[in-house]
Structures are given as structure tokens and as C-alpha cells.
């Protein structure tokens, strides 16, 4: 009986301490670049201008679809804070089964969802721990990642896939926005944005 109890303990400790799976520089897993993720919710149109021109509101889809704020280095290499060169690009995120100890929780490996970049997570307070990747810190945030995606959960869409508050470590790659799950904004939706209409 004691042996069985001890085994159960070892198994559960292993699951809880999954830790980070990505290794190397840049951090990679399964041959792909890794990123950290978090989630947020707001009502602003964001740094790609995905809302009406005459106010700071969001288009509905920029609140309830799979959209993300990318760290500054990913949003725009040159440091632009508006209409970054990667506005409207889509990133396919796949969970590794890892997370940062003390900053999230376990999500099983292999869950894939595609998010459109519609906002910037700036390299400034209060975003420094996740979104600061620059020359002074070796282009890595406080947890070692070169890339970060802060996922909009305005309508509970991140909660609905079980990622809310878990901040799963993911691998990521750029993909075409069209042809994914219905919560991924299409290229057509991006062309409603100020930056999309202005060729950025
Ligand atoms: C960035 O800061 C905003 C507040 O300005 C906050 O809502 C958001 O959660 C932060 N995201 C990260 C990844 O630090």
C-alpha cells in the first residue's frame, strides 16, 4: 500500500513540474522556434488600427477572435509602435506541454491554434518581464524567450481552449491567415484595419 502511494506522488509531481521544454539559443522544440504566451483583455483597437477610425474601440472580431499582441521585436524590428511590419500576419502556436514554473500551468502538448497579430506588447513597463527583448538583455525576456504573444481573451476565447492563466510555452511559425479555424481572422478582416487599408 505504501509503495502505491509513493508512486502516485512521483507521477503527480512530475506533471506539476513540467517546466520549460524548449532549449538552446534561440529556444527551440521539435525543430521550431519557441515563444512564451500570456493573455489579456481590453477594448482598444490596438497598434494595427483594428477599430473605427474615429475612436479607440475595437472591431468585434478584434475582441472575440484569436488575435494577439506581439512583443516589440516581433511586431516591428525597427521599433515602430503603430502599423508594425508584422501587423495582420498570422502565427500558428502549438503547445509544447511546458510552462514557466510559477508563471502558469500545464497544458498538454500538441494543441494548435492560429492567431492574427493586431496589437503590440511594448518593450516598456509594465510589460518588461514578457515583452522586453533587446540588445541589453540578449534579445530574451525574463524567462529566456526571444518571442512573446499576449493573447486577447476579450470574450473568453482563450479560456475556452483551456489556455487562460496557464501561459503555455509554444512553438510558433508564420502561416497564411485564411483556411484555419473560424475564430482566426481572415485576410479580408485585416483589410478593415487602418494599417491593412494603408498597405501595412
Ligand atoms: C502589458 O500591459 C498591459 C497594461 O498596459 C496589460 O494589460 C497586459 O496584460 C500586459 N501584457 C504583458 C504580456 O505583460
CATH number at residue 36: 2.40.40.10
Residue 163 in any domain: the answer is: yes
User: What are phi and psi for residue 120, nearest 5 degrees?
Assistant: -110, 135
Ligand 1 site-directed mutation target among 126, 141, 153, most atoms within 8 Å of CB: 126
Count of domains observed in the chain: 1
For 148, the 3-state DSSP assignment is: strand
Residue 50 in any domain: the answer is: yes
Residue 185 in any domain: the answer is: yes
pLDDT band at 18 (very low <50, low <70, confident <90, very high): low
pLDDT digits (tens, 9 = 90+) for 104-117: 999 999 999 999 99
If you average pLDDT over residues 114-142, what whole number do you get? 97
Query: What is the rounded distance in angstroms from the CA atom of residue 76 to the CA atom of residue 73?
Result: 6
Residue 172 in any domain: the answer is: yes
Ligand 1 site-directed mutation target among 122, 150, 158, most atoms within 8 Å of CB: 150
pTM: 0.91
Domain carrying residue 73: 19-195
In the block, residue with C-alpha cell 473560424: 182
- Write down the catalytic residue from 17, 53, 64, 150: 150
Q: What is the pLDDT of residue 11?
A: 44
Between the CA of 40 and the centroid of ligand 1 the distance, in Å, is: 7
| Residues making up the chain, counted from first to last | 200
Residue 4 in any domain: the answer is: no
Would you call 157 exposed, middle or buried from its count of C-beta atoms within 10 A (0-12, 13-18, 19+)? buried
pLDDT digits (tens, 9 = 90+) for 165-175: 999 999 999 99
Amino acid at each position: 500500500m505504501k509503495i502505491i502511494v509513493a508512486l502516485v506522488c512521483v507521477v503527480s509531481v512530475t506533471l506539476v513540474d513540467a517546466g520549460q521544454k524548449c532549449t538552446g539559443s534561440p529556444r527551440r522544440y521539435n525543430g521550431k522556434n519557441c515563444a512564451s504566451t500570456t493573455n489579456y483583455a481590453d477594448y482598444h483597437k490596438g497598434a494595427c488600427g483594428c477599430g473605427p477610425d474615429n475612436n479607440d474601440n475595437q472591431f468585434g472580431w478584434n475582441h472575440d477572435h484569436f488575435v494577439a499582441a506581439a512583443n516589440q521585436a516581433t511586431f516591428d524590428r525597427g521599433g515602430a509602435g503603430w502599423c508594425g511590419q508584422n501587423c495582420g500576419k498570422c502565427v500558428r502556436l502549438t503547445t509544447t506541454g511546458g510552462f514557466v514554473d510559477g508563471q502558469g500551468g500545464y497544458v498538454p502538448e500538441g494543441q494548435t491554434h492560429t492567431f492574427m497579430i493586431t496589437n503590440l506588447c511594448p518593450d516598456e513597463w509594465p510589460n518588461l518581464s514578457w515583452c522586453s527583448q533587446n540588445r541589453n538583455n540578449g534579445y530574451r525576456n525574463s524567462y529566456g524567450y526571444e518571442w512573446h504573444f499576449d493573447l486577447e481573451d476579450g470574450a473568453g476565447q482563450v479560456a475556452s481552449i483551456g489556455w487562460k492563466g496557464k501561459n503555455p510555452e509554444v512553438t510558433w511559425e508564420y502561416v497564411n491567415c485564411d483556411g484555419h479555424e473560424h475564430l482566426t481572422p481572415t485576410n479580408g478582416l485585416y483589410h478593415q484595419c487602418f494599417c491593412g487599408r494603408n498597405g501595412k
